[in-house]
Chain A
Amino acid sequence: MRRLPFEYSVRNLGRSPLRLSLAFAGALLVAALATAAAALLLGMDRALSASALHANAIVLGSGSEESLERSEIQPAVASILAASVPGIPAIAGTALVSPEAVMALPVEIGDDPEPRRALVRGVEPAALLLHPGVRVVEGRFPERGASDLAGEAMVGLRAERQLALPPGSLSLGTRVRIEGSEFVVVGRFEAPGSVMEPEIWAPLSDVLAAAKRTTISCVVVALDPEGGAALQDLAAFAARRLDLEIAVLSEEEYFASLRRFFAPLRWMIVVAAALVAIGAVLGGLNTLHAAFASRSREVGTLQALGYGRGAVLLSFAQESLLLTAAASIAAVLLCRALLDGVGIAFSMGTFAFRVDATAVAAGLAAGLALALLGALVSALASLRRTIPEALRAP
């Protein structure tokens, strides 16, 4: 097949700046939505499975329906477990048992009197042993009762973005007020991809005091892969001690239940993105179509010169491909710059957009599909006319 010069497709792009920008905006929106939706789903996937690699059990309140935020158990459960269940691994005499309180609390940062809702986790030093993904990268782990005036806290590397704060807002030495109690940031930690990276961690007793709360959320217990404490032992203990009102889940089960819990949310994200994208697709197609339709006489002329329908179709496809390729690349770059790592807080946890290669591919694929669809729909519409009809067009 004889092709029209590539130059022709390129210059056609510049014919109507208004149409070009409208079509560009439509394609940009579609590609950005696809990238963002994929990035969020990927971020959720990663957050809801990262810690499942470790052989931990999670002890929750029995009526909590596997929700950390709803779960309440007595703080003593941790030491009771350590003392009563044989075979729980220990390091340097410390049993690998981590009592934790997880709450979304109003937090004031520095001099800003405006409180922001932050996920605060009260922990004891053992937490680091049970969450090996968490690593202090700056400063140190907060200590309890360091001063009467202020407690200590450490912040996850994503906390600033999660709280919509400029970088550096939570540097070491920053004062934060959690429910009116002063804390000083003494450390910063990373927990790549985990639900914990946007959190603020402080000593358990200080958090409980600040929140005026007497119960904790959960106890994370290490299981022993070499024949020590197993999940069944914990479950049997929970069944014996009904007075403690606890339920035992493997971390894997816990995350599986979280994933089940979030499944409708995933669908909502996909459907919402698709609905907006359909609007943008229709808008983009409409402008592309108008652009091609206005060239009806030209298409007739090209055919009269001897160019085949395939050549015209290919040229239109090149043109819309150039447009959507530029728009999609802009979209994924924007998403990467603005969205990557930004967290969205849902009631049960925080998920960060993860604009990785897969999300970028999703955005580019959406752009490509739009380009081909646009070229096909428009070109078929103008090629459906007979040549004399096309030549009579205004």
Chain B
Amino acid sequence: MPLVEARGLTRTYRKGEQEIRPLDGLDLDIDAGRFVALMGPSGSGKSTLLNLLAGIDRPTAGSLVVDGVDLAALSRRELAEWRSRKVSIVFQLYNLVPVLTAYENVELPLLLHDLPRRERHARVVRALERAHIAHRHDHMPRQLSGGEEQRVAIARAIVTEPALLLADEPTGDLDRSSAESILDLLSSLHRDEGRTIVMVTHDPRAAERAQATLHLEKGRVAETIARTGAKESSRAPANTEAHA
């Protein structure tokens, strides 16, 4: 059974008289352990899809099952609890809490878990080390470069060991070399630890790091480009169920 299973996923917004349908009957399966890139023109619903996967937004229609849980069935409170255990998001603008140190930022999601102090500390240190940013643990976000902030944000995202790691244009605000090293980090999280990652990106070079690229268009997955080891790729026909 895939980790993510979306059927007829639809999200509409009302803007006065007008109805916008960024997602319109989208079907999507993502297996555990995959690294998937999500591409598409601006406004094609990439963030909308990511938000639904993250459990911070709810579909207008259709079903979304993540790790065996039907998100539509959860109350607001249950959904918040689910988020704190199952999913993490890495944002384009890092979204660190400016008044907390790097260490405290990474600790923040763990405070929602029942953990002994020592265990929590060990996990925070491990996550910081894993993101190669442990040496900056007592720095405030404003004392860090963009690339360093994003490393802290990734440490914060993996510290809870989520089943699903989401990233919305994680390199969109970084220079080339910082972007490359962030992509290296995400790749190694996937390769070495088997993390499931869904990454929205505009950058084809970033997308190349993923095993598969989903193209969103008109509210659905228009094509899937799979990459297996080398550069060989297969194209799935549009408007069928995408499987990544």
A residues contacting B by CB (< 8 A) are 2, 4-5, 7-8, 11-12, 14-15, 297-298, 300-308, 386-388, 391
Contacts and interface: CB of A to CB of B under 8 A. Distances in A.
Given A4-B111, A305-B84, A386-B56, 4 more contacts: A5-B108, A7-B100, A304-B56, A305-B156
Contacts of A306: 80-81, 83-85, 109, 112
Given A386-B57, A387-B57, A298 B83 contact: no
Interface in B64-108: 77, 80-81, 83-85, 89, 91, 93, 95, 97-100, 104, 108
Nearest to A14: B99
Contact of A388 (B47, B93, B111): B47
Contacts of B84: 305-307
A304 B100 contact: no
A7 B111 CA distance: 13
A307 B99 contact: no
Interface size class on chain B is 20 to 34
A308 B95 contact: no
A388 B80 contact: no
A305 B82 CA distance: 10
B95 A297 contact: yes
Interface of B: 47-48, 51, 54, 56-57, 77, 80-81, 83-85, 89, 91, 93, 95, 97-100, 104, 108-109, 111-112, 156
Contact of A307 (B80, B89, B98, B100): B80
Closest 9 CB pairs of A and B: A306-B84, A11-B99, A387-B56, A301-B95, A306-B83, A305-B109, A2-B112, A388-B51, A306-B112
B47 A12 contact: no
Nearest to B93: A297
B56 A308 contact: no
A24 B54 CA distance: 39
A193 B148 CA distance: 66
Contact of A8 (B56, B85, B91, B100): B100
19 contacts: A2-B112, A5-B111, A11-B99, A11-B100, A15-B98, A15-B99, A298-B97, A300-B56, A302-B97, A304-B56, A305-B83, A306-B84, A306-B85, A306-B109, A306-B112, A308-B77, A387-B57, A388-B51, A391-B91
A394 B66 CA distance: 30
Nearest to B88: A305
What is the predominant secondary structure among interface residues of chain A facing chain B? helix
Contacts of A11: 99-100
B83 to A, nearest CB: 4
B97 A301 contact: yes
Contacts of B91: 301, 391
Contacts of A301: 91, 95, 97
A301 B111 CA distance: 15
Contacts of A304: 54, 56, 83, 89
B112 A307 contact: yes
Contact of B56 (A297, A298, A303): A303
Contacts of A5: 104, 108, 111
Nearest to B108: A305
Contacts of A303: 56, 80
Contacts of A388: 47-48, 51, 56-57
- Among A301, A305, A307, A386, find the residue whose CB has the most chain B CB atoms closer than 10 A: A305
Nearest to B114: A2
A7 to B, nearest CB: 8
Contacts of A8: 97, 99-100
B6 to A, nearest CB: 17
Contacts of B89: 304
Contacts of A297: 93, 95
Contacts of A307: 80, 84, 112
A197 to B, nearest CB: 52
B105 to A, nearest CB: 10
A7 B109 CA distance: 15
B122 to A, nearest CB: 19
Contacts of B108: 5, 302, 305
A308 B81 CA distance: 8
Contacts of B99: 8, 11-12, 14-15
A2 B113 CA distance: 9
A168 B57 CA distance: 72
